[in-house]
Amino acid sequence: MAIAGIGVDVVDLARFERAITRTPALRDRLFAPGERDKPIPSLAARFAAKEAFMKALGESTGVTWHDMEVVQDGRGAPTLIATGAAGALIAAKGIIGIHLSMTHDAGVAVASVVCETA
């Protein structure tokens, strides 16, 4: 296997919370229904994951926020599901694996994504 792309993103929790509080519609615009009820630090980490994923892909042509959803796998680890334009980019680039790590602490949320090809 080979690395197709790596992406990292950092979100300031206080700034993110102000944005969500000031514009409540952001929850619906940025997050899939299964993500929306999470606490602010978890939402910020998911937002960072989506940004990191687009960086790992190297482009985001046609991708919407709802084309990406952070879910838990069978072991409780975060994983990213890509549909729509994001799914099409994965297929076009031959990506067969997406590795996601997220954390939030000390006022920031961080996510890193590694995309693999065969």
The enclosing domain of 25 has a CATH number of 3.90.470.20
Q: Is the pLDDT of residue 1 over 90?
A: no
- How many domains is the chain built from? 1
Q: pTM of the predicted model, to two decimals?
A: 0.95
Q: List, for residues 51-103, the tens digit of each pLDDT value.
A: 999 999 999 889 999 999 999 998 989 999 999 999 999 999 999 999 999 99
Of 66, 73, 74, nearest in space to 100 by CA: 73
Which residue range is the domain that position 48 belongs to? 2-117
What would the two tokens of residue 87 be?
A: 């799914």
Instruction: Say how many Å lie between the first and final Cα of the chain, rounded.
Output: 5
Give the Cα-Cα-Cα angle 111, 114, 73 (nearest 5 degrees): 70
